[in-house]
Amino acid sequence: MTTAREPSSLAITRSRPRVVILGGGFGGIYAARRLRDVDVDVTLLDRGTSHVFQPLLYQCATGLLSEGEISSPLRHLLRGHRNAHVALGEAQSIDPDAKVLTVSRFDGSAFDLPYDYLIVAAGMRQAYHGHDEYIQWAPGMKTLDDALAIRRKLISAFEMAESLPTAQERQPWLTFAVAGGGPTGVEIAGQIRELATHALAHEFRSIDPSEARVLLFHGGDRVLPSFDRKLSASAQRTLDKVGVETHLGVQVTDVRETGIETTSGDETRTKKRYEARTILWTAGVEAVPFAAVLADALGVNQTHGGRIAVEPDLTVPGHPDVWVIGDLMSLKDLPGVAEVAMQSGKHVGGCIARMVPGGAPDRKPFKYRNFGSAAYIARRHALLQAGPIRLSGFVGWVSWGVIHIAFLAGYRNRFGALLNWAATLATGSRRERAITYGDPESARQPYSDLSPES
């Protein structure tokens, strides 16, 4: 990490209060929107160029939607906000006395970003519970990089199997293990079976893709524990029907290149090994690294998963000019869902709007309105749980579609996603199956070195 700091065009001292929003996810975008016509200078900082619609990452990973359809450039989203700047870079450190963030650029250089008010909406990342060695074999599902890495793994596993001579050699390549039976694990498991049984069904000559085994491992006694028991039972029936093999009451206790080991949660602690060349990890989240830096600099403790505990008005205790919102905040066990992030972003934007110019600090407590949650299980089957409403099957699926289209950023993305869904429903095909090799740097040399000396 670099410490060399240079002046930046973004660090100009301005006459209006400067609001820095760290993170362009749901929380950050909704805060920026609320501040649109407020007499402040807003800088939205993110380490990526786009707002990513995480709830559809698994559809990008399984070739249904493109990365462009589930993301929107931050600059484009804020193009009409005359008071907003977008900065690309990763926040590395913070000096709360000087009110300055230090941000690293792509090339390793760094610049300072001063603020009067700071909104931290940096989100969470996948947690491997002390087993970072799993990451290389079992990508998580939190970023576009994850989705594209998973797509590469899935597509190349079928291609590998097609070229291998014996059924015994093919089997591990046609076995897909998913750790975690929450919404993300269930969604990706169902989608892999759909990819295998619909999109790829007639495209291979040596293998039958529909023979692909999808193993879903979950430590609890039912999948989707955050949903009502009846809904989770309905989801389980659909998973069984589409051919996902669910293993409940087991923890994944080892991950290797060639497979996984599970341990049962009962007193027998029975261990089992499964050979699988594609392993996906959706079992838990933890705070992004900047959370620890922030907590240390502000002198506060991190709570469960590294989240930052906030006051009822979402400020950090003892720091009325710093708010933490969205997934990263810890307040009354609010869940890490998009609605919490959006509403908390709007809330803080409103507080700042009422504070400027020269108003008293606005300590209005945040009130969350729970509009419910939804999960996709398989084609024509999704769950929706909102207050007393419990929907599953086809009606749940239509409701799920309407909600996701409504919250997807931008009309082009909505239209594109609808068109792709309709085409996939009608024909079973999935067009977004291109894969790239390695990282963007190594893409300059995408071929193997075939020189005689190598």
Ligand X SMILES: Cc1cc2nc3c(=O)[nH]c(=O)nc-3n(C[C@H](O)[C@H](O)[C@H](O)COP(=O)(O)OP(=O)(O)OC[C@H]3O[C@@H](n4cnc5c(N)ncnc54)[C@H](O)[C@@H]3O)c2cc1C
Residue 144 interacts with ligand X (CB under 6 A): yes or no: no
Q: Hey, which residues does 281 pair with through a beta bridge?
A: 179
- When binding is defined by CB under 6 A, the residue of 18, 142, 218, 319 that contacts ligand X is 142
Query: Which residues inside 145-184 make contact with ligand X, applying CB under 6 A?
Result: 183-184
Query: Which residues inside 294-333 make contact with ligand X, applying CB under 6 A?
Result: 326-328
- When binding is defined by CB under 6 A, the residue of 17, 20, 27, 63 that contacts ligand X is 27
CB of residue 183 to ligand X, shortest distance in Å = 6
Rank residues 27 and 243 by Cβ distance to ligand X and give the closer one: 27
The residue range among 24-32, 200-208, 296-304, 348-356 that interacts with ligand X, by the rule CB under 6 A, is 24-32
CB of residue 188 to ligand X, shortest distance in Å = 8
Residue 286 interacts with ligand X (CB under 6 A): yes or no: no
d(CA 95, CA 107) in angstroms, rounded, equals: 22
The residue range among 76-84, 156-164, 267-275, 338-346 that interacts with ligand X, by the rule CB under 6 A, is 338-346
> And the tokens for 98?
């000087």
Name the residue among 37, 27, 56, 40 with its Cα closest to residue 122: 27
Residue 215 interacts with ligand X (CB under 6 A): yes or no: no
The residue range among 20-28, 229-237, 425-433, 441-449 that interacts with ligand X, by the rule CB under 6 A, is 20-28
Build a one-symbol-per-residue string for 339-378: x at contacts with ligand X by CB under 6 A, - elsewhere. x-x-------------------------------xx----
CB of residue 293 to ligand X, shortest distance in Å = 8
The residue range among 44-52, 240-248, 380-388, 445-453 that interacts with ligand X, by the rule CB under 6 A, is 44-52
User: Cα separations (Å) of 165 from 204, 207, 275, 348?
Assistant: 14, 10, 18, 60
Rank residues 265 and 284 by Cβ distance to ligand X and give the closer one: 284
> And the tokens for 302?
């991190």
Active-site residue, 187 included:
yes
**Active-site pick, 187, 261, 286, 311:** 187
Residue 26 interacts with ligand X (CB under 6 A): yes or no: yes
**Tokens 């199997």 belong to which residue?**
161
> And the tokens for 194?
């759909």
The residue range among 40-48, 196-204, 301-309, 433-441 that interacts with ligand X, by the rule CB under 6 A, is 40-48
Residue 121 interacts with ligand X (CB under 6 A): yes or no: yes
Name the residue among 392, 28, 369, 428 with its Cα closest to residue 193: 428
Build a one-symbol-per-residue string for 244-283: x at contacts with ligand X by CB under 6 A, - elsewhere. ----------------------------------------
Binding stretches for ligand X (CB under 6 A): 22-28, 45-48, 54-55, 57-58, 90-91, 121-123, 141-142, 183-184, 288, 290, 326-328, 336-339, 341, 373-374
Active site residues: 187
